[in-house]
Amino acid sequence: MPQTLSFSLGLSWFKDSCRTLKLQPLSFPGIVIFSLLVSMMLSGIPLIGTLLASLWMPYASVMTGFAARDALDGRVPVYYTLVAIIRDKASRYPLLILGLLASVWMEINMLVFEWLGRGDLDKWKITSSGVDMASITGNFPLTAFIVAFALYVPILMMTLFAPLLIVQNRQKVGKSLFYSFFGVLRGIRPIIGWLVCTTILSSAVFFLLEMLFIGIGLPQGFAFLAPLVVALLSAVCQAGVWVMFRDIFAGSNPDGTMPDDLTPTDDGSVKWP
């Protein structure tokens, strides 16, 4: 894999991420919101919610990634992409396996967190008036949090681009995990730059809107607008995954083109099996 990408590329990624909202202010955020709602709905199912949400994750990643691609290419993103992904035999089961592996990793991660932090977690208190924040801040499981975060980072790096590598580049599950991990390493500098820009944007939007509502005498008003703001910022983040993938893995197929069954048709859409 070629040398590490420049830090300044992160600013270009950030601009393209925001440009998806400018080009498709309704359809692209709509697909991202749909993806998030499905994930929340699945997570709420007793006993198997976490597993179902993990199995959904790879499909959602490809759907939102291709939606960002279409928006940047001047096309209107469509929900049918999800149906096409599910019908694509070469991608269907590898994506399920990827989701299952991610689910197992996350379950192990949670068990490690609970085991290391059980002493502190047992000291958390819930009173008749609500959660006792002093008991939480005074007994925060720092060691458990650090270890859990350290275990989460590798699975995040391995699965960030893996769904797109499976569908777009026709890679096997193991190879997609490998290339996603080292793709993140290759692009770590611009990724950090993108994260800095996104964090600044998020902080500025929340601060300015909070000050606006305080200024007009409605300090609680922002709570009603917050879900929409979170949805739009989530759309920027989802678009970021595609633009990173686009540049980090540009020309990574043997012949530098997309697979035969994923080539664009005359109208700019994608031909699926």
In a domain, 272, yes or no: no
Read off the pLDDT of residues 137-171 as tens digits, 9 standing for 90 and up: 787 888 888 999 999 999 999 999 999 999 999 99
pLDDT of amino acid 5: 80
| Cβ-based neighbours of 55, under 8 Å, separated by 6 or more | 96, 99, 100, 103
Please say whether the beta carbons of 4 and 227 come within 8 A. Answer: no
Element (H, E) at 131: strand 130-131
* Pairing verdict, β 126-127 and 130-131: antiparallel
Read off the pLDDT of residues 27-49 as tens digits, 9 standing for 90 and up: 999 999 999 999 999 988 988 88
In a domain, 75, yes or no: yes
Number of structural domains in the chain: 1
In a domain, 114, yes or no: yes
- Sign of the C-alpha dihedral computed for residues 221, 227, 228 and 234 taken in this order: positive
Number of other residues whose CB lies within 10 A of the CB of residue 30: 16
pLDDT at position 80 over 50: yes
In a domain, 23, yes or no: yes
Sort 121 into a burial class: Cβ within 10 Å, 0-12 / 13-18 / 19+: middle
Please say whether the beta carbons of 31 and 64 come within 8 A. Answer: yes
According to DSSP, residue 270 is labeled: B
Please say whether the beta carbons of 98 and 162 come within 8 A. Answer: yes
> pLDDT band for position 118 (50/70/90)?
confident
pLDDT of amino acid 30: 94
Length of the chain: 273
Mean pLDDT of 247-251: 82
Element (H, E) at 238: helix 222-248
| Cβ-based neighbours of 220, under 8 Å, separated by 6 or more | 213
In a domain, 268, yes or no: no
- Sign of the C-alpha dihedral computed for residues 21, 27, 33 and 38 taken in this order: negative
In a domain, 269, yes or no: no
What is the residue range of 65's domain? 9-262
172 sits in the region (left: phi over 0; alpha: psi -120 to 50; else beta) called: beta
> pLDDT band for position 130 (50/70/90)?
low
Q: Which of 57-71, 96-110, 115-129, 235-249 has the lowest mean pLDDT?
A: 115-129
